[in-house]
Amino acid sequence: MTAYAMDSWTLTRRTLLQWRNQPAQLAIGLLFPVMILLMFAYLFGGAMQVPGGGDYREFLLPGIFVLTMAFGLESTFTAVSSDAGKGVTDRFRTMPISAASVLTGRTVADMLYAAAGLVVLIACGLAVGWRWHHGWTNALLAVGLLLLLRYALLWFGVWLALVAGKPEMLMAVQILVWPLAFLSSVFTAPETMPGWLGTIAEWNPLSATAAATRELFGNPGEGGSWWPAVIWPLALLTVFMPLAVRRYRRLT
């Protein structure tokens, strides 16, 4: 195993040990999307209509999966900015390890957390009546697209945290993330919105992944090609991964 891989795994284990010592915080993070799912499925679902017909819960679940991938940006931002604010990042920078391994360790841990959250949501979705209809292969492709989106947004969150440098800026991140998440096809189809607003929602990266996963799962709603759901995350990774590493190296 290379030094880079060993350093990355060591830093991943550091995050996992922190979570083991904070089980309540971990549980809240996993159960919050479940609360959102139950609220929209049972409180608002009866009033929702799916264009073209179909069960709203089956329309909703892929959107909730996407929403969870987007909300994970907040936990990444909080963790990275807290390390920077407490001087932990400065301590890492004095050690004979690469900047990429520090950030990779963080991203691997967050991806494991995202995968665990997705498993919890899928189990909850099955409990409320959601199903996939196009076989295991397409279902696994859909899960892969969801995790790819999470990985791209994760690096955006790392860069944003290194730029902000303070966990107190989380409110500003929420102001950015929540409108982006809701101005999409997560909860309702863009064609039900005013024309200009629907156009913005259709171009939202979250809408691209929601449409692709609905198509792959065989759920109702306007399906679409899965290529935009690949291109958007790859574009975000191309921009923000090198920016995050460069910002880390230039921290003062």
Position 198 confidence tier, pLDDT thresholds 50, 70, 90: confident
Tens digits of residue pLDDT in 103-142: 888 888 899 999 999 999 999 999 988 999 988 999 999 9
Could you tell me the CA-to-CA distances from 108 to 10, 62, 114, 174, 250 in Å, in that order?
A: 11, 23, 10, 23, 22
Question: Is 59:45 a contact under the CB 8 Å cutoff?
Answer: no
Tens digits of residue pLDDT in 130-189: 999 988 999 999 999 999 999 999 999 889 888 877 777 777 777 777 888 888 888 888
Question: The pTM is what?
Answer: 0.89
Position 1 confidence tier, pLDDT thresholds 50, 70, 90: low
The pLDDT of residue 65 is: 95
Tens digits of residue pLDDT in 51-91: 777 788 889 999 999 999 988 888 888 888 888 777 777 77
The pLDDT of residue 227 is: 85
Position 252 confidence tier, pLDDT thresholds 50, 70, 90: low
Mean pLDDT of 42-50: 75
Nearest-10 Cα torsion for 175, 178, 182, 183? 40
The pLDDT of residue 74 is: 82
DSSP letters spanning the chain:
--HHHHHHHHHHHHHHHHHHT-HHHHHHHHHHHHHHHHIIIIIIGGG---TT---HHHHHHHHHHHHHHHHHHHHHHHHHHHHHHHTHHHHHHTSSS-HHHHHHHHHHHHHHHHHHHHHHHHHHHHHTT----SHHHHHHHHHHHHHHHHHHHHHHHHHHHHHH--GGGHHHHHHHHHHHHHSSSSSS-GGGS-HHHHHHHHTSHHHHHHHHHHHHHT-SS----SHHHHHHHHHHHHHHHHHHHHHHHT--
Q: List the domain boundaries for the chain.
A: 3-249
Higher-confidence residue: 252 or 18?
18
